[in-house]
Amino acid sequence: MIRLEKRPQASQAFSWAAPVLAVLATMFFGGLLFAALGKDPLASITTIFWQPLFGDFAFYYRPQLLIKGAPLVLIAIGLSLGFKAGIWNIGAEGQYIMGAIFGAAAGLAFYPTESVLIFPFMILAGALGGWIWAMIPAILKVKFGTNEILVSLMLVYVAEQFLASMALGLLKNPEGFGFPGSRNLQQYGSAHNAELIAGSGMHWGVVAALIAVIFAYVLLARHRLGFAIRVTGEAPRAAKFSGVNPTRLVLFCMGMSGLLAGLAGMFEVAGPAGQVTIDFNVGYGFTAIIVAFLGRLHPFGILLAGGLMALTYIGGDIAQSQLGLPAAAIQVFQGMLLFFLLAFDLFTNYRLRMGRAEVA
Amino acid sequence: MKLSTLLASAALAIGLAGGAYADDKTKVGFVFVGPVGDGGWTYEHNQGRLAVEAEFGDKVETVFVENVAEGPDSERVMTQMALDGADLIFTTSFGYMDPTINVAAKFPNVKFEHATGYKRADNVSTYSARFYEGRAIQGHIAGKMTKSNIIGYIGSFPIPEVIRGINSAYIHAKKVNPDVEFKIVWAYTWFDPAKEADAAKVLIEQGADVVLQHTDSTAPQAAAQEAGNVITFGQASDMAQYAPMPRVSSIIDDWAPYYVARTKAVMDGTWTSTDTWDGIGAGMVGIGDITDAVPADVKAEALALKASIADGSYHPFTGPLKKQDGSDFLADGETADDGTLAGMNFYVEGITGDIPN
């Protein structure tokens, strides 16, 4: 008989092996799925994982990985702080939208004035937008004890309505023939989050994501606040005794994740996306939750996980076009990644035992 | 600059390689905003793609990517298709407009066709269909069929395209039934079965016995079927599975003739940048079979109206017409020009409520 036995101590090795095993299992079962759809499994997997990195047109796809990965990493870093402390901000998508709206509005308010001060101002506005949106569930939680998971999630839908209203009303391009969508910030020099080196994919959002990774690492490893976050997640009672102020912690973690999500939205709208449109948000805020867990809530893990997730998106689109794989199959493939990760995670705290349990 | 040079040289290299291998297959790419199985908008574009394959067989290769988000993702997918050697790329959603222009600038030798937009370039054409022509026929049938005199309308987004449809349907319903009243609900989505079903239920509760929709799912059809005695029209696709009731007819987007013609033009080397806005006459807008739930005389009138629009003898926006605020829109016998139609942002006289802003 096979049964699960709790490990006396969480296995450090398994904690790091789980993501690798999850990727391998996803490749294997994903391959089976693709085979069942009548596609060559090996070709499918190599198209998804190999082509963007080392294929004929890698010179184009590698920069795209940065563009796709940067918002994921930026948001996931913020989320991981809260997740570590057991504070669950599920509404990063809404904060991302608000950051984009605030940032774009701050820039467009000055159109067509050109000034080097506009872009920094937009960055501040974007961060503020995300922060405010995250403070709503945070304050409701500390004041009234509401559940931050529900409130932050519901606020995503409010933000989406707000986005539609902005794209159709206040921020609508006056020269857009009545069509929805703002002016294109890519065509407004002072507000454009352009590539720092043309063709590299490196824009300010990528820089911000890398800074956030380092900042989060230092915070968690070296700072008192990082200690408070870790101890609250691992042993809430001990945290209380050691003088951690839970209210401040909630406000900090929610605020920080909102701020970073807002920044991600701002960099996206000012750069790769260019416009505030009705369908501006494409789910980065939700995917970042997967990225945060795939990266073990560790800053450098998140960096790798963000890259991997971006790879499956870009490779997935290539596979759709070159091999005719349906979009749904790619989504199942991405879903498998989280599923297997959670499954293998079980073995961090438990191990399999063969044979009969001894009678105590 | 550097990237575009790189891309251009890559494209050139592919072109040369293609020549060397005598690969004379024309490659046509399609970028879809929804899943090909949505039963509406994307489904019909995919039917157009299949028609291209059926028409040219071995001479073409078609590729598509579905569920492509508007914005940077669509730009990447288009670039990828161009890199993979596509000769012609159809981008089938309004939100792909700026990405299409961006990518087209990097690949001057690839032809692009953007649906429902207004930005063109030497290698970018635009195309759309005059759905409002179909709305006129819908309005006529709706005005004749309603007993409660309340017609419900599920709007997607308050953009000229949708407002044009509402106006066209209203004008022709009013013409045959002066007591008719339109109730408009904005769903703020193109495709969301749950929201669309809710909107339909609200309208039916408010007494509507005809529900028109500018959203793409069949959910309003199902809601009407459940309520009984409510009629609907298929949108974008025929939605014949709901015939003969509640679906009494439909507006069908038929992209196949256009896609075949444009692919042919690329093969022949006669492709040029154009702006196409075709309607019933050219076959881009189809009217689905009018079922027996509609009395024979109404059906005959509807078909006559269709014929007069098709041959150009009647324009759905013919004066005298006033705007909602009472100001003059069109004088007696005057017809609306395409510029006015394209940017239409007002209701005609008689429609109550405001266009959301």
Terminal CA-to-CA distance of chain B, rounded, Å? 39
Residue the block writes with tokens 């199902």: B222
pLDDT of residue A235: 84
Instruction: Evaluate if residue B149 carries a pLDDT over 90.
Output: yes
- Residue of chain B nearest A318, judged by CA positions: B80
Q: How far apart are CA A156 and CA B343, in angstroms?
A: 32
Burial class (CB in 10 A: 0-12, 13-18, 19+), B2: exposed
Buried b (16+ CB within 10 A) or exposed e, B148-159: ebbbbbbbbbbb
Residue B357's pLDDT band (boundaries 50, 70, 90)?
A: low
Q: Where are the alpha helices (DSSP H) in chain B?
A: 2-20, 41-56, 72-83, 97-106, 131-145, 160-176, 193-205, 219-227, 256-268, 296-310, 338-342
pLDDT of residue A241: 84
Shortest alpha-carbon distance between residue A158 and chain B (Å): 13
Q: Does A318 touch chain B (CB under 8 A)?
A: yes
Q: How far apart are CA B71 and CA A97, in angstroms?
A: 14
Instruction: Evaluate if residue B13 carries a pLDDT over 70.
Output: no
Contact B69 A279 (CB under 8 A): yes
Q: How far apart are CA B65 and CA B33, in angstroms?
A: 9
ipTM, interface predicted TM-score of the complex:
0.84
Which residues in chain A are contacts of B78 at CB distance < 8 A? none
pLDDT of residue A356: 62
**Order of all β-strands in the sheet with B26-31:** B60-65, B26-31, B88-91, B111-115, B124-129, B275-278
Q: Is the peptide bond before B160 cis (omega within 30 degrees of 0)?
A: no
Residue A125's pLDDT band (boundaries 50, 70, 90)?
A: very high
Indicate the helix (H) or strand (E) that contains B27.
Answer: strand B26-31
**For A10-42, what is each residue's pLDDT tens digit?**
788 888 888 889 999 999 999 999 999 999 999
pLDDT of residue B154: 96
Q: Where are the alpha helices (DSSP H) in A193-294?
A: 204-222, 224-234, 236-241, 246-270, 284-294
Q: Does A158 touch chain B (CB under 8 A)?
A: no
Q: Does A71 touch chain B (CB under 8 A)?
A: no
pLDDT of residue A13: 83
Q: Which of A129-138, A198-207, A240-249 ranks highest by mean pLDDT? A: A129-138
The DSSP line for B147-182 is SSSEEEEEESS-SHHHHHHHHHHHHHHHHH-TT-EE
CATH code for the domain defined by B131-252+287-342? 3.40.50.2300
Range in A3-7, A337-341, B139-143, B340-344 the model is least confident about:
A3-7
What's chain B's average pLDDT? 90
Domain with CATH 3.40.50.2300 in chain B: 22-130+255-278, 131-252+287-342
Residues B334-343 have a mean pLDDT of 91
Indicate which of A197, A321, A322, A323 best probes the interface with B, i.e. most B CBs within 10 Å of its own CB: A321
Looking at per-residue confidence, does B54 or B4 come out higher? B54
Six-digit token pair at B255?
A: 């992209």
Instruction: Evaluate if residue B221 carries a pLDDT over 90.
Output: yes
β-pair type (B231-236, B210-213): parallel
Between positions 324 and 343 of A, the ones with CB within 8 A of B are 324, 326-328
Six-digit token pair at A111?
A: 């159109």
Alpha-carbon torsion B276, B282, B283, B289, what sign?
positive
The DSSP line for B97-117 is HHHHHHHHHH-TTSEEEEET-
Query: Of the candidates B158, B295, B291, B166, which has an alpha carbon nearest to the alpha carbon of residue B234?
Result: B291
Six-digit token pair at B126?
A: 């635009």
Residue B22's pLDDT band (boundaries 50, 70, 90)?
A: very low
Residue B342's pLDDT band (boundaries 50, 70, 90)?
A: confident
CATH code for the domain defined by B22-130+255-278? 3.40.50.2300
Looking at per-residue confidence, does A193 or A4 come out higher? A193
Burial class (CB in 10 A: 0-12, 13-18, 19+), B58: exposed
Q: What angle do CA A296, A297, A301 make, to 5 degrees?
A: 60
Q: What φ, ψ does residue A268 adopt, rounded to 5°?
A: -70, -45
**For B270-300, what is each residue's pLDDT tens digit?**
999 999 999 999 999 999 999 999 999 999 9
Residue type, A137: P
Q: Where are the alpha helices (DSSP H) in A4-117?
A: 12-36, 41-49, 51-54, 58-84, 92-108
Alpha-carbon torsion A304, A308, A310, A314, what sign?
positive
CB atoms within 10 A of CB A238: 11
Buried b (16+ CB within 10 A) or exposed e, A16-52: eebbebbbebbbeebbebbeeeebebeebbebbbebb
Residue B71's pLDDT band (boundaries 50, 70, 90)?
A: confident
**pTM for the model:** 0.86
The residues, any chain, with a CB within 8 Å of residue A20's CB and separated by 6 or more, are none
Residue A242's pLDDT band (boundaries 50, 70, 90)?
A: confident
What's chain A's average pLDDT? 91
Query: Of the candidates B104, B81, B100, which has an alpha carbon nearest to the alpha carbon of residue B91?
Result: B100
Q: How far apart are CA A128 and CA A102, in angstroms?
A: 8
pLDDT of residue A205: 94
Residues of B with CB under 8 A from a CB of A: 1-3, 6-7, 10, 29, 35-36, 63-73, 75-77, 79-81, 83-84, 94-95, 98, 118, 157-160, 188, 342-345, 356-357
- Residue of chain A nearest B66, judged by CA positions: A327
Residue type, B344: M
Contact B157 A168 (CB under 8 A): yes
- CB contacts < 8 A, A to B, total 109
Q: If DSSP states are collapsed to H, E and C, what string results for A21-32?
A: HHHHHHHHHHHH
pLDDT of residue B349: 94
Instruction: Evaluate if residue A287 carries a pLDDT over 70.
Output: yes
Instruction: Evaluate if residue B122 carries a pLDDT over 90.
Output: yes
Residues B78-90 have a mean pLDDT of 95
**For A62-99, what is each residue's pLDDT tens digit?**
999 999 999 999 999 999 999 999 999 999 999 999 99
Q: What φ, ψ does residue A179 adopt, rounded to 5°?
A: -80, 150
Of A63, A275, A321, the CB nearest to B80: A321
Which residues in chain B are contacts of A59 at CB distance < 8 A? 6, 10
SS3 for A260? Answer: helix
Indicate which of A56, A67, A177 best probes the interface with B, i.e. most B CBs within 10 Å of its own CB: A177
Longest dimension (CA), chain A: 80
* Phi-psi label, residue A178: left if phi above 0, alpha if psi -120 to 50, beta otherwise: left
Q: A148-168 and A118-144 helices cross at what angle (nearest 10)?
A: 140
Query: Of the candidates B184, B187, B240, which has an alpha carbon nearest to the alpha carbon of residue B212?
Result: B184
Residues A1-18 have a mean pLDDT of 82
Residues B261-266 have a mean pLDDT of 96
Shortest alpha-carbon distance between residue A34 and chain B (Å): 16
Measure CA B23 to chain center. Answer: 34
Six-digit token pair at B346?
A: 């007002």
**For A140-169, what is each residue's pLDDT tens digit?**
999 999 999 999 999 999 999 999 889 988
Measure CA A328 to chain center. Answer: 21
- Residue of chain A nearest B7, judged by CA positions: A60
Q: How far apart are CA B139 and CA B143, in angstroms?
A: 6
β-pair type (B150-155, B210-213): parallel
pLDDT of residue B23: 59
Instruction: Evaluate if residue B198 carries a pLDDT over 80.
Output: yes
